[in-house]
């Protein structure tokens, strides 16, 4: 049983896309789960009415599953995070995360201002013991199964110790959420050899080798789409959020470029789209912010209803697998090991 709060006001297409995503999720999820739509109540109700009169008429039976929670303020996509969370305590972002912090729900999902969601999650949910920073986890589609990449944008100028912490977070995530046994962890770098890379990577390589994790060495840019490095398949790739974010956004933009060229050359768009479905980010739902005491799922601003539905599914799975407890245990075990 999971209670999910969805930021109804967050994202480029809110509240239409968010409310529609909640309807899709309600139709799909077991009735034991609850969905809270957090935002301007009157607007959410009007949006529900409009959707159920139109494209989503078949979902009328699921309206009763959605609980609307009023939050009068909205944090805009371009607002400065720190000012926004201080200045708008009654925003959908802050109200939803406060519900989670106070135990009135089990997870929070938003396609709103990412910086504000990170800052508010750290302020309201707090970091797990021993962590300096949370990390955003993204699943990279590959030729094989998806690879867990973190950090994909929460942090820049990471230290080697922080990269090792990301490796621990990602390893638990790959196990709990993707069912990977003893996940293979790689370090994003510019060559195979241990001595390659920048100063932080060289230090991180040495620390990872002694971390007790299943460290399989460096992963180069070319290994990411393959889902494997020179040693074999990789489940988790750790990197500084700067390079992680650049590569993630690059990846998201390359597929449309290629599809565009193919369509221009007369190939059938439908067949192309079907062939490339495994590269479609929205299949994987949102990106969890790992390291906070709770489940905070970050979605793309331009998320579709289907992407939001998938993000709600990710939230449910994170709650049911007790991901956050497991991460906490893993960090405590590592700290005990270091102290011993």
Task: Please give the residue ranges that form the binding site for a copy of itself (CB under 8 A).
Answer: 142-143, 153, 156-157, 188, 190, 197-199, 201, 220-226, 240-243, 245-258, 260-262, 264-267, 271-272, 274-276, 278-279
Main-chain dihedrals φ then ψ at residue 237, nearest 5 degrees: -125, 125
d(CA 301, CA 282): 12
In angstroms, give the least distance from the CB of 222 to a copy of itself. Answer: 4
In angstroms, give the least distance from the CB of 235 to a copy of itself. Answer: 18
Alpha helices by DSSP H, listed for the chain, are 16-28, 41-53, 81-87, 92-101, 114-124, 160-178, 199-209, 223-226, 241-264, 269-275, 305-320, 323-339
CB nearer a copy of itself, residue 61 or residue 267: 267
CB nearer a copy of itself, residue 64 or residue 274: 274
CB nearer a copy of itself, residue 299 or residue 323: 299
CB nearer a copy of itself, residue 156 or residue 161: 156
CB nearer a copy of itself, residue 151 or residue 176: 151
List the beta bridge partners of residue 185: 215, 236
CB nearer a copy of itself, residue 164 or residue 224: 224
Judge whether 65 and 104 are in contact, CB under 8 Å.
Answer: no
Q: How many CB atoms lie within 10 A of CB 62?
A: 20
In angstroms, give the least distance from the CB of 267 to a copy of itself. Answer: 6
In angstroms, give the least distance from the CB of 61 to a copy of itself. Answer: 37
In angstroms, give the least distance from the CB of 281 to a copy of itself. Answer: 12
Give Cα 178 distance to the centre of its chain. 13
CB nearer a copy of itself, residue 70 or residue 192: 192
Q: Name the burial class of residue 232, with classes exposed (0-12), middle (13-18) and buried (19+) by CB atoms within 10 angstroms of its CB.
A: exposed
- Could you give the dihedral angle defined by the CA atoms of residues 153, 92, 285 and 247, in that order, rounded to the nearest 10 degrees? -20
Cis peptide bond prior to 15, omega within 30° of 0: yes
In angstroms, give the least distance from the CB of 269 to a copy of itself. Answer: 11
> What residue has token string 């607002």?
79
In angstroms, give the least distance from the CB of 248 to a copy of itself. Answer: 7
What are the tokens at 234? 């990789």
């Amino acid at each position: 049983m999971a209670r999910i709060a969805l930021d109804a006001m967050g994202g480029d297409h809110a509240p239409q896309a968010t409310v529609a995503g909640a309807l899709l999720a309600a139709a799909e999820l077991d009735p034991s789960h609850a969905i809270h739509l957090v935002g301007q109540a009157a607007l959410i109700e009007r949006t529900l009415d409009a959707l159920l009169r139109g494209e989503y008429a078949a979902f009328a039976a699921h309206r009763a599953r959605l609980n609307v929670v009023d939050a009068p303020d909205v944090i805009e996509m371009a607002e400065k995070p720190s000012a926004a969370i201080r200045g708008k305590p009654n925003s959908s972002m802050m109200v939803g995360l406060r519900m989670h912090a106070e135990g009135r729900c089990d997870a929070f999902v938003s396609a709103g201002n990412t910086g504000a969601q990170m800052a508010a999650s750290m302020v309201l949910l707090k970091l797990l013991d021993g962590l300096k920073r949370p990390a955003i986890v993204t699943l990279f589609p590959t030729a094989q199964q998806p690879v867990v990449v973190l950090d994909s944008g929460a942090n820049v100028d990471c230290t080697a110790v922080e990269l090792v912490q990301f490796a621990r977070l990602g390893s638990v995530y790959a196990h709990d959420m993707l069912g990977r046994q003893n996940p293979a962890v790689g370090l994003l770098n510019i060559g195979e050899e241990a001595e390659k890379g920048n100063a932080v990577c060289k230090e991180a390589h040495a620390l990872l080798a002694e971390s007790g994790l299943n460290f399989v060495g460096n992963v180069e840019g070319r290994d990411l789409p393959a889902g494997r490095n020179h040693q074999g398949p990789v489940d988790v790739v750790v990197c500084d959020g700067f390079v992680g974010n650049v590569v993630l956004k690059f990846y998201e933009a390359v597929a449309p470029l290629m599809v565009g060229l193919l369509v221009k050359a007369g190939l059938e768009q439908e067949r192309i789209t079907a062939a490339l479905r495994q590269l479609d980010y929205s299949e994987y739902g949102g990106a969890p912010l790992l390291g906070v005491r709770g489940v905070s799922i970050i979605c793309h601003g331009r998320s579709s209803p289907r992407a939001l539905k998938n993000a709600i599914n990710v939230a449910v799975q994170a709650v049911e697998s007790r991901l956050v407890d497991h991460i906490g245990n893993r960090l405590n075990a590592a700290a005990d090991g270091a102290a011993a």
